[in-house]
Structure 1
């Protein structure tokens, strides 16, 4: 794939960012931030491992914690993982901050994606789940760089006149909305399949795009389903993965979605650009 930076800036190529971009990020206190499912589980459970069944995927572990300690606990704990630490932007976000992609998908729930666009006006779409008001599983905001505030807008106001940041799994700002437990993902994916997880404008805008997957773990069913729904209608894409061998399910996803795999770390790939 050639002219990657130009394609990211024009919106022809869309970055799709996963937790793996945090692998080399340390907080100022020397602790690490979650960069895969296992480390997310440990962060949610105060550093303690859980049973093998629950350790399979963090959404399953989060569901168990939610059932035992309540929904508010899991929301506050997810926020605490990031809000309680000071850390520099992971390199991937620094790179994107320098080039300002036209459209970026960030499945991490912290505010690093917001910092990419903190000095420009932009739209942010965050995912929500388990709401009864309507079927839509998103909230749309417009950011004012002068006041540094996100203001809610109606879905009809979204367009491509400004950069678009899509955080389908939610965000810690301006409101704490997280797709984190099994029940959240089931609800979000159910409505995604019904067409309610993306604003109408984005459903059309995303067609015929190519995607650059960075730090995304396709070995787990949940994120393969999330990626499938968000990128429906894609042309092709590039998966940057520091992994020697893919599982059978990963290989099937890659071939079905016309993706090319580059066995390299996200940081090394972006630095080479």
Structure 2
């Protein structure tokens, strides 16, 4: 494996915090942030947890055990899409309290935040703290009968025109969908096959997200990229942004594929426990 670009956290974390406050760094958030403060969690916080939840609802074939996307595809194929959506909604129905880091970000008035999990933590933090914000959420095109890749929602949870969402100070982008406000999910293999067919030409990524990411650095926090689909999505979301990005990870925990992914995209790595890094960013 190539050597990752490691940083001195004492120097780099203040720089990232300054970039966040200035709106020059885009947070790319994963469920690892919530896992720091919620134990045991009332909702699944990893794809493996979600696959295990599906296994409590039905007997999965061997190929789908432990794989959330394959398990979802099996449910969709054998129990139909409505059942899959209902089970996803049930899995995340308890909700989750936003962390102090989510709330801190919500108070910054950032141009763009990416929340890569389904639980709705960042939406909850914005609802508590911010006023001028909107969410653009990926949707599955299964059963909707529309040629659309995403929908816009306001703070109240009502669907809004794109023009209103694009005018908001803060745009929350949930590229895999979310349990809130209405339970839109990209989850099955079929969902991702359809999206990944066009994501190279960026069609599924909202125009406003593409505009707001231009020239920005991304900060990956609480994310894992041990799955090819997660890497493929992240790669496309950060396309045409800055050539400098950051990731808070403990290098010893990385898989070979994660190591290669971060190295290929020249991520500067903050090799320290996530909770400690987030506390330093907020200080």
User: TM-score when scaled to structure 2?
Assistant: 0.82
Say which SS state the counterpart of residue 4 (structure 1) adopts. Answer: helix
Are 2:212 and 1:205 equivalent residues in the alignment? yes
Q: CA deviation at 1:230?
A: 1.1
Mapped contact 2:135–2:165 kept (Cα < 8 A): no
Are 2:129 and 1:121 equivalent residues in the alignment? no
Say which SS state the counterpart of residue 157 (structure 2) adopts. Answer: strand
Aligned to 1:146: none
Aligned to 2:21: 9
Instruction: Decide whether aligned partners of structure 1 residues 11 and 49 sit closer, same or farther in structure 2, where only a CA change above 3 A counts.
Output: farther
Say which SS state the counterpart of residue 152 (structure 1) adopts. Answer: coil
Say which SS state the counterpart of residue 24 (structure 1) adopts. Answer: helix
**Structure 1 stretches of at least 4 aligned residues deviating more than 4 Å after TM superposition:** 47-52
Mapped contact 1:211–1:237 kept (Cα < 8 A): yes
Instruction: Decide whether aligned partners of structure 1 residues 50 and 217 sit closer, same or farther in structure 2, where only a CA change above 3 A counts.
Output: farther
Q: CA deviation at 1:223?
A: 0.4
- State the structure with bigger RCO (CA 8 A, min sep 6), 1 or 2: 2
> Once structures 1 and 2 are overlaid, which stretch shifts more, 68-77 or 156-165?
156-165
Mapped contact 2:137–2:178 kept (Cα < 8 A): yes
CA RMSD of aligned residues (A): 2.5
> 2 CA distance for matches of 1:76 and 1:47?
11
227, 233, 252: which is aligned to 2:234? 227
99, 107, 120: which is aligned to 1:90? 99
> 2 CA distance for matches of 1:272 and 1:107?
22
> 2 CA distance for matches of 1:41 and 1:165?
26
Correspondences of 1:115-154 after superposition (within 5 Å): 115-118=124-127, 119-130=130-141, 131-134=144-147, 136-143=148-155, 149-154=156-161
Paired residue total: 264
5+ residue gaps, structure 2, are: 1-11
217, 224, 240: which is aligned to 2:224? 217
Mapped contact 1:5–1:99 kept (Cα < 8 A): no
User: TM-score when scaled to structure 1?
Assistant: 0.85
> 2 CA distance for matches of 1:216 and 1:35?
11
> 1 CA distance for matches of 2:79 and 2:57?
16
Instruction: Decide whether aligned partners of structure 1 residues 162 and 100 sit closer, same or farther in structure 2, where only a CA change above 3 A counts.
Output: closer
Say which SS state the counterpart of residue 252 (structure 2) adopts. Answer: coil
Instruction: Decide whether aligned partners of structure 1 residues 259 and 47 sit closer, same or farther in structure 2, where only a CA change above 3 A counts.
Output: farther
Show CA shifts across 1:57-104 (max 9, x none).
Answer: 311121112222221111111111121x25432344233234343310
5+ residue gaps, structure 1, are: 144-148
Say which SS state the counterpart of residue 131 (structure 2) adopts. Answer: coil
Are 2:71 and 1:68 equivalent residues in the alignment? no
246, 253, 266: which is aligned to 2:274? 266
> Once structures 1 and 2 are overlaid, which stretch shifts more, 225-234 or 95-104?
95-104
Q: CA deviation at 1:226?
A: 0.8
Instruction: Decide whether aligned partners of structure 1 residues 7 and 47 sit closer, same or farther in structure 2, where only a CA change above 3 A counts.
Output: farther
Aligned to 1:80: 90
Are 2:112 and 1:103 equivalent residues in the alignment? yes
Instruction: Decide whether aligned partners of structure 1 residues 31 and 161 sit closer, same or farther in structure 2, where only a CA change above 3 A counts.
Output: closer
